[in-house]
Chains A and B, each alone.
Chain A
Amino acid sequence: MKTTMAKQILGGAAAAIAICTMMATATLVRAQGPGEQPIAKRMIAGKEWTVSKGKEPGTFDVHWGDESMTWRPKPWYEDKYKEMGPAYYAQWDDPKLPFPFDVPLEERHKLSAEDIINRSVGVQYLGAPYFKNGWDRGTVLVYTPAGAVRQRMNILELATNFVGGKNLEYLPSAEQGEVQQKYVWALIEPTELRYQGGVTTVPMDKTRRPTDTLYLPTVRKVRRLAGSVSQQYFPGSLFRYEDSPHVRPLPELEYRIVGFSLFNPDPKLRGYGDKDMPDIKRVDSAGDVIVKIEIKPKAGVSWWYAKREWNCSMQMLQYTYSNEFDATGAQIRYAVHSGKTGSVCHIGTPDGPPAPDWYQSWGSLSAQEFVSGYSLDGWEDVCGFDADVKKNIFSEETQMRQPQTLTEWLQ
Chain B
Amino acid sequence: MVWLKCSLRPRYRAATIVLFSVALSTLSMAARAHACADLSSGADPSDLRLCIEYYGSNVFRLPNVTRTLWNPAIGGLETKHADGVVSQRNEVRIIADWIPSKHLDEKLFGGVPVKFHIELRPWWDAAYSLTGWGQGQYAKYLAPFWENNLEGLQTYSDPIFREYYADISPENFFIRVGSQIISWGKSDGIYMLDILNPFNYRTLGVFNEELIKIPVWAINANWSPSAGNTLQFVYEPVYFPSQYPGQHVREGGYHDWTFGSVNYFNNIFNQFGIPLQDRRMPDFGIDNGTYGVRWSSQIGKVRYTLNYLYGFTPFPIYRPNTGNTLTGTQYSLEPHRIQVAGGSFDYSLATDNWLDGTVIRAESSVTNGNVYYEGTFGQPKHVTNWGMLLGIDKYLLSEVLEKPVFASFQYWHDMVLNGTHCADCGPESGDYIDIGFQGSPSGMRGPYKSLLTLFLDKTWLPGDTLDTQFFALYELQFHDWFLRPSATYRFNDDLAFTVGTNIYAGGKQTPYGEYTNLTNLFFEIRYQLL
Out of A151, A391, A408, which one reaches B224, CB within 8 Å? A391
Q: Within residues 483 to 524 of chain B, which ones have a CB less than 8 A from any CB in chain A?
A: 490, 492-494, 496
Provided the pairs A226-B359, A238-B463, A408-B115 are in contact, do residues A221 and B183 lie with their beta carbons within 8 angstroms?
A: yes
The reply to whether B492 and A189 contact each other, CB–CB distance below 8 Å, is no
The reply to whether A174 and B51 contact each other, CB–CB distance below 8 Å, is no
The reply to whether B348 and A224 contact each other, CB–CB distance below 8 Å, is yes
| Closest B residue by C-beta to A171 | B227
| Closest B residue by C-beta to A179 | B301
A99 close to B (CB within 8 Å): no
Provided the pairs A225-B359, A226-B394 are in contact, do residues A152 and B169 lie with their beta carbons within 8 angstroms?
A: no
Q: Within residues 189 to 247 of chain A, which ones have a CB less than 8 A from any CB in chain B?
A: 189-192, 194, 208-209, 211, 218-221, 223-229, 231-233, 237-238
Provided the pairs A191-B494, A395-B224 are in contact, do residues A227 and B398 lie with their beta carbons within 8 angstroms?
A: yes
A275 close to B (CB within 8 Å): no
The reply to whether B399 and A405 contact each other, CB–CB distance below 8 Å, is no
Provided the pairs A192-B496, A225-B359 are in contact, do residues A171 and B462 lie with their beta carbons within 8 angstroms?
A: no
Q: Determine, out of A53-61, A123-131, A296-304, A340-348, the stretch whose residues face the partner at the interface.
A: A296-304
The reply to whether A407 and B224 contact each other, CB–CB distance below 8 Å, is no
A178-B350 Cα distance, complex, nearest whole Å: 13
A192-B51 Cα distance, complex, nearest whole Å: 10
Interface range on chain B: under 10, 10 to 19, 20 to 34, or 35 or more?
35 or more
Could you say which of A171, A190, A208 has the most chain B C-beta atoms within 10 Å of its C-beta? A190
Provided the pairs A218-B210, A219-B210, A369-B462 are in contact, do residues A191 and B224 lie with their beta carbons within 8 angstroms?
A: no
The reply to whether B99 and A192 contact each other, CB–CB distance below 8 Å, is no
Q: Within residues 401 to 445 of chain B, which ones have a CB less than 8 A from any CB in chain A?
A: 401-404, 406, 408
Q: CB-CB contacts of B471-485 with A at 8 A, as 1s and 0s?
A: 000000000000000
The reply to whether B298 and A151 contact each other, CB–CB distance below 8 Å, is no
A97 close to B (CB within 8 Å): no
CB neighbours (8 Å) of A30 from chain B are none
A25 close to B (CB within 8 Å): no
The reply to whether A174 and B226 contact each other, CB–CB distance below 8 Å, is no
The reply to whether B394 and A227 contact each other, CB–CB distance below 8 Å, is yes
A110 close to B (CB within 8 Å): no
A256 close to B (CB within 8 Å): no
| Closest B residue by C-beta to A205 | B350
B278 close to A (CB within 8 Å): no
A196-B297 Cα distance, complex, nearest whole Å: 22
A225-B102 Cα distance, complex, nearest whole Å: 37
Out of B102, B115, B227, B402, which one reaches A395, CB within 8 Å? B227
B205 close to A (CB within 8 Å): no
A172 close to B (CB within 8 Å): yes
B144 close to A (CB within 8 Å): no
Q: Within residues 391 to 410 of chain A, which ones have a CB less than 8 A from any CB in chain B?
A: 391-392, 394-397, 400-402, 404-405, 407-408
Out of A224, A226, A233, A411, which one reaches B406, CB within 8 Å? A226
**Chain A contacts to B: CB under 8 angstroms:** 142, 150-152, 169-175, 178, 188-192, 194, 208-209, 211, 218-221, 223-229, 231-233, 237-238, 300-304, 369, 371-372, 374, 390-392, 394-397, 400-402, 404-405, 407-408, 411
| Beyond A151-B492, A220-B181, A226-B395, 4 extra complex contacts between A and B, CB < 8 Å | A224-B359, A394-B227, A395-B230, A397-B174
* Among all A-B residue pairs, the 9 with the closest Cβ atoms: A227-B357, A172-B228, A372-B462, A226-B393, A190-B493, A218-B210, A220-B183, A392-B224, A411-B113
